[in-house]
Amino acid sequence: MQLSSFMTVSAAEDFLRHIYAGTVGKLQIPTRARHHAAGGEAAFVQAVSTWANEANPAELVSYAEGPVDEVQIERLVSRLHGLVGILVADTISSIRGPDLTEVLRKAALERLSLLQSATPEDGSRGPQLEIVCFDHLAKSHPRSFYAPSEQGVLQVRRLPAFNLFAAEVLKELVPTALSRGIPEGFTSALGGALHELFRNTEEHGRVNDRGDVPTKSVRGFHARRHSITPKMLPALAAEAKPFSDYFSRLRPARAGNRDIQLIELSVFDTGPGMAASLSARPLTSIDRNEELLLVRRCFGKNVSRKSISSAGLGLPTVIDLLRERNGFLRLRTGRLSLFSDLGLEEQRAFGELPELRDWADPGGRIAPIAGTLFTLLFPLGA
Residue spans of the domains in the chain: they are: 118-379
On whether the pTM is more than 0.85, the answer is yes
In this structure, the chain runs to a length of 382
**What SS3 string covers 250-286?**
CCCCCCCCCCEEEEEEEEEECCCCHHHHHHCCCHHHC
Average pLDDT over residues 164-190: 89
Gap between the Cα atoms of 47 and 41, Å rounded: 10
How many CB atoms are closer than 10 A to CB 313?
16
- What's the DSSP call for residue 303? -
In tens, the pLDDT along 65-113 reads: 888 899 999 999 999 999 999 999 999 999 887 899 999 999 999 999 9
User: CB-based contacts of 298: which residues, under 8 Å, 6+ apart?
Assistant: 274, 278, 305, 310, 311
Q: Which of 381, 377, 378, 375 is nearest to 45 (CA)?
A: 375
Whether 351 shows a pLDDT value over 80: the answer reads no
In tens, the pLDDT along 196-211 reads: 999 999 999 998 888 8
